[in-house]
């Protein structure tokens, strides 16, 4: 466990403890004040520093307070900010749901921002991007808490394969997003323009900067925003609106849940392939809670080498290790099978691997009324021959599932009268058998 604390002056600690509003006033003040007279420094009495406060004696009350202490992006104050403040502040249920999701991730994001000496209000950006939902998808195929599109995700080493999509991974996507934001700030030297570029693309922002430069016009965000699409024009004001609400929630009639200023999760090594449901069981977590911390895993088995880790709440990590040591069964019940012929139907595969077509479709996200193409690699239940074998790394990296629509029933030839009669007769017999079986089973 790594708990981050901050050393500050005794006076600042006292003032912060009085109220969030006073804390924000301190945060917004200049780091140093200009002298009130022109007396040379040599003739001034030496300043006595406040006594140092030990780290364990001062710690922000919760993560919201910790975020406020690190605000560093210049404020906007315009009609769009006011409009977005009204939107968020009049939707307490939305903020409550978003805060509940954020409570799992926010400490980690703030900690990573502080390590890089970045403005901590950037921790609020996933509220704008995804409402802190790592399973969020956009119409542009952006995914995850930080909403990476596939290409940008690959640019920042976020793996995307059949088994996982690191655009959704809490730690991987946060690292990529902060690296990207740092690069954009280095490019523009302005956090507001960096944010606009994060939303719209750096090339587009560079283009409108050059346009205004050529016309002798200013190139700050507000001066350029009229040249941006509506989504980008609203992007920075939205962040400013959330920032204002977090600064002084009571002023806007908002009640924020307390999010403890301590790590929510820890990373745990996995020893071999493990079913997602078994991992959740060993950690004594519901599958939904396990998925909330490990949303990058797309299949019912977690594959990969020793670099693949799972995230668990601290109290559950110890339970996981203890239960794992006592587990006397196979950790993974899945392996892969490559389709070599179009003759391999899902029904025939189900029979071969002693399962049902529905299980194969669900494990591989195969839509109904579709069939697999030759060359596809799919998950199938392990047989006695494959028990104990992990899925190979080259399969993980290269496996693809390709399917096509099954033959369209609407394009089939019309049934003859004889075929219709046989179909009705078969359906009637099946119905009678079903009723007899039901009566027998419940008799």
CB 100 within 8 A of CB 257: yes
Q: Which of 97, 49, 69 is nearest to 4 (CA)?
A: 69
* DSSP strand pairing (309-313 vs 274-275): unpaired
| Cα–Cα distance, 389 to 113 (Å, whole number) | 40
| Cα–Cα distance, 135 to 304 (Å, whole number) | 21
Q: Looking at 121, 129, 166, 344, which residue is catalytic? A: 129
Distance (Å) of CA 410 to CA 110, 342, 367, 413, 414: 56, 22, 18, 8, 9
129 catalytic, yes or no?
A: yes
SS3 category, 351: helix
- The catalytic residue positions are 129
């Amino acid at each position: 466990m790594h708990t981050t604390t901050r050393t500050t002056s005794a006076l600042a600690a006292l003032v912060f403890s009085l109220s969030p509003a006073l804390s924000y006033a301190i945060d917004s003040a200049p780091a140093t004040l200009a002298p009130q007279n022109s007396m040379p420094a040599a003739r001034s009495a030496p300043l006595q520093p406040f006594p140092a406060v030990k780290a364990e004696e001062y710690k922000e009350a919760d993560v919201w307070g910790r975020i406020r202490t690190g605000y560093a992006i210049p404020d906007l104050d315009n009609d769009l900010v006011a409009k977005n403040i009204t939107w968020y502040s009049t939707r307490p249920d939305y903020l409550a749901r978003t805060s509940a999701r954020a409570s799992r991730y926010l400490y980690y994001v703030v900690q990573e921002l502080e390590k890089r000496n970045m403005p901590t209000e950037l921790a609020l950006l996933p509220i704008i991007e995804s409402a802190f939902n790592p399973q969020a998808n956009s119409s542009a195929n952006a995914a995850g808490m930080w909403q990476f599109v596939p290409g940008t995700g690959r640019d920042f080493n976020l793996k995307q394969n059949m088994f996982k999509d690191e655009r959704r991974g809490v730690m991987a996507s946060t690292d990529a997003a902060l690296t990207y934001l740092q690069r954009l700030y280095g490019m523009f030297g302005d956090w507001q323009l960096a944010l606009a570029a994060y939303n719209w693309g750096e090339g587009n922002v560079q283009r409108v900067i050059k346009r205004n430069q050529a016309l002798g016009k200013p190139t700050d965000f507000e001066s350029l925003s009229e040249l941006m699409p509506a989504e980008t024009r609203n992007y920075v004001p939205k962040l400013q609106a959330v920032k204002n609400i977090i600064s002084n929630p009571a002023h806007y009639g908002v009640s924020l849940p307390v999010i403890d200023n301590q790590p929510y999760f820890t990373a745990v090594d996995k020893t071999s392939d493990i079913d997602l449901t078994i991992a959740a069981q060993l950690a004594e977590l519901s599958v939904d809670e396990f998925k909330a911390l490990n949303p990058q895993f797309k299949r019912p088995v977690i594959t990969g080498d020793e670099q693949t880790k799972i995230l668990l709440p601290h109290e559950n990590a110890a339970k996981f290790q203890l239960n794992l040591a006592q587990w006397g069964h196979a950790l993974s019940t899945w392996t892969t099978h490559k389709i070599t012929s179009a003759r391999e139907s899902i029904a025939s595969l189900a029979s071969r691997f002693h399962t049902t077509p529905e299980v194969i479709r669900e494990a591989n996200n195969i839509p109904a009324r579709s069939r697999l193409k030759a060359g596809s690699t799919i998950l199938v239940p392990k047989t006695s021959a494959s028990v104990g074998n992990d899925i190979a790394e080259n399969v993980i990296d290269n496996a693809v599932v390709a399917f096509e629509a099954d033959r369209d029933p609407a394009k089939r030839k019309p049934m003859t009268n004889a075929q219709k009669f046989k179909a009705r007769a078969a359906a009637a017999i099946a119905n009678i058998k079903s009723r007899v079986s039901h009566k027998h089973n419940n008799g």
